[in-house]
Structure formats: structure tokens, C-alpha cells
Structure 1
Amino acid sequence: DNEIKLRNKIMKLAEIEGKHLGEYYKEKNEKENQSSDDDYTYRVEPCSAIKYSFLDYGNILKGNDNLEPDTTSTGSNLKKIFENISSSNEIGDRRKKFWDENKSCIWRSLLCGYKKGYIGNNVDSSTKELPDDIQTCIIPDDKDNTTSTTNG
């Protein structure tokens, strides 16, 4: 089933992206501990970075991302997948429904990947080594998305 394959692929990509974010913030924290020269550093907290990535996935999947319109490879492939599971006049609704049905899995994949990147692959279920920002990070509401223009 195309939807299941798509969900699994998106979850894997989200985990990889989360892992890269975890590795980035681990290295960044280690460097900050070694240097105090950060007066002009622009900071994005780890939870915010994960939320931005999560909301980007939502925009792409719902078909309202300015960087991945239907004319790009990603946009075109997603359009084909959703055309195969919906009539053409229902594609926008189906894309939003797919997002609504799968966003919590995508969110958990991002967090799982972050944990692997920050702590390492051999992690248990504890969060004691994660920054407080991540331990309290919750899934954002679609209304938090300032770049979304249609379909929530």
C-alpha cells in the first residue's frame, strides 16, 4: 500500500533528520562549554529546531510548502502517490488527512532520532542525559506554523 510505504519512508527520514539535529546540538554544546565567545551567536533551541522540521514535514505532505511545490521531484512524487489513493478533486483533503493521521508518528521519529544523535545508538529509555529543552518538548499545533497557507 502506497500510504504505508510513504509513512514508513517519512518516519525513517524524520528519524535521520532528528539524529542529525541531535549530533549537531551535542557538538554545539560541547563547543559552547569550551568557549565563552558567543555574544553574537544566533541561537535556536533544540526543541524549536525539531518543531521547525516537524512543521516543514507537515507543509510538504499537505502540499503547501513553497520550496517543494508539485513541480519539484519531491512534490511531483507526493502528488502521484496521493493521486493513486484519491480522486483528483480530493487530493488536498487526502494529504491533510494523511498528515493528521501520521503526524504523531513523525514527531516521535524526530525525537527518537534526536536522542540517538545526542546520546548515541545504544540508549535506554531514560532521558536523564538529554537537555531540559528536549525533555519537555511537546508536539506543536498546526496553528503554530507561520508558513502554512492552506489546509491547516
Structure 2
Amino acid sequence: NLENLDIKSEGLSNGSFSSHSLLGDVFLSAKYEAENIKKLYQQNNSKIKLTEEKDKESICRALRYSFADLGDIIRGKDLWDHKDFKKLEKHLQKIFGKIKEELKSKINDKYEDNSEGKHTKFREDWWEANRAKVWEAMQCPKKIPPPGVDIKCDQTGVPLD
């Protein structure tokens, strides 16, 4: 997941690739988190198929909470006091610094205040620009699911954070 970002990889260390590479990592993290939520729900509730409406409601609620948590992490608002989170936060600060530097001529000093290296406003705008696709990734199965296992939550749009 995101706590294992390799900021030395070419995708994340090269400013011209950083935004796309980070987005790919966020997509994968969202997708695997959603798969894990569904799998754990099935295991903890001794379910083979998820056909009941209450199953869908429970899973969708968990997906929305996870989506909101991911948004908080990206925006630097999840202040969880854990060494993995602190490491992730430092990585995200570096990555967003590289993205911001690469886009400097296009953003025309819109993000001059970088909130002591946290790039808070820039991160919020990045999340806002990409959140619908992240939500889509959370709901996208890795293969065509068997009947009774496909859960689609989003009938009214992307959840609010």
C-alpha cells in the first residue's frame, strides 16, 4: 500500500513522472483496499456470496470510510501517530514538492505558501482533481466477479470526504 512507496523509483523521483506515478500507486492502493474490505467482510460474516442488501450497505459504508481516509492521507490531514504514517507523510511531502516544482511555470505561484514543506493546498487540489478516478478504482474488480460478489456502491456520485 501507500506506506511502501519507493520514492527512489524513477516514476516518483522524476518530477515529470511523479504525478502520474503517484496516481497509479493511489489507484492500486484503493483497489487493493477495496478488495481487502470485501474479502474480510465475507470471512468475518461466513459469506460465500454477497447478495443481501445489508451486505452491500455494510461494504459500501466501509469503502466510503476507506476512501475518506485515503483522501485525508493524500491531503496531509490524517494525523495518525505511527511510524509508518510518519514515513508515508514525509514521502508524500517530497513527491508533492517534485510535482509542484515540475508544474511551477503552469501554476503561476498559486501555491507559494507550501505550509512548511507540506504543500497542503496543492495536495488538496491534486486530490480534488483525481478523487473521482480513485473512487472508480476502488469499485473496479480485478476480474469479472462471480454472481453475488460484485458490489457497486456509487449510484449517486463520488462520496464526500
Normalised by the shorter chain, which TM-score bucket?
Answer: 0.5 to 0.7
- Structure 1 letter corresponding to 2:145: V
Q: With CA pairs under 8 Å and 6+ residues apart, which has the higher RCO, 1 or 2? A: 1
- C-alpha separation in 2, matches of 1:68 and 1:86: 26
Runs of 4 or more, structure 1, over 4 Å off, are: 130-133, 135-138
- C-alpha separation in 1, matches of 2:154 and 2:69: 21
Paired residue for 2:6? none
Paired residue for 1:81? 95
Alpha-carbon shift at residue 141 of structure 1 (Å): 1.4
For the pair 1:67 / 2:80, whether they are aligned, the reply is: yes
Change (3 A) 1:99 1:110: same
Paired residue for 1:12? 28
Unaligned runs of 5+ in 1: 34-43, 143-152
Change (3 A) 1:53 1:32: same
Unaligned runs of 5+ in 2: 1-16, 50-56, 102-111
Alpha-carbon shift at residue 136 of structure 1 (Å): 4.6
- Structure 2 letter corresponding to 1:18: A
Q: What SS is found at the alignment partner of 1:78?
A: helix
Alpha-carbon shift at residue 6 of structure 1 (Å): 0.2
Q: What pairs up with 1:1-152 in 2 under 5 angstroms?
A: 1-31=17-47, 45-67=58-80, 72-86=86-100, 89-90=113-114, 91-112=119-140, 115-116=141-142, 121-123=143-145, 129-130=148-149, 134=153, 136=155, 138-142=157-161
- C-alpha separation in 2, matches of 1:134 and 1:83: 34
2:30·2:138 contact (CA, 8 Å) conserved in 1? yes
1:68·1:74 contact (CA, 8 Å) conserved in 2? no
Could you list the per-position Cα deviations for residues 101-137 of structure 1 after superposition, in whole angstroms to 9, with x for gaps in the alignment?
A: 111111111111xx45xxxx3438xxx6247784757
TM-score, normalised to structure 1, is 0.66
Cα RMSD of the aligned pairs, angstroms, is 3.2
Tell me the number of residue pairs that the alignment of Structure 1 and Structure 2 aligns: 123
- C-alpha separation in 2, matches of 1:92 and 1:130: 38
Change (3 A) 1:79 1:141: same
Could you list the per-position Cα deviations for residues 80-116 of structure 1 after superposition, in whole angstroms to 9, with x for gaps in the alignment?
A: 011112266242121011100111111111111xx45
Over the matched positions of the two proteins, sequence identity in percent amounts to: 24
- Structure 2 letter corresponding to 1:139: V
- Structure 1 letter corresponding to 2:133: C
Q: What SS is found at the alignment partner of 1:11?
A: helix
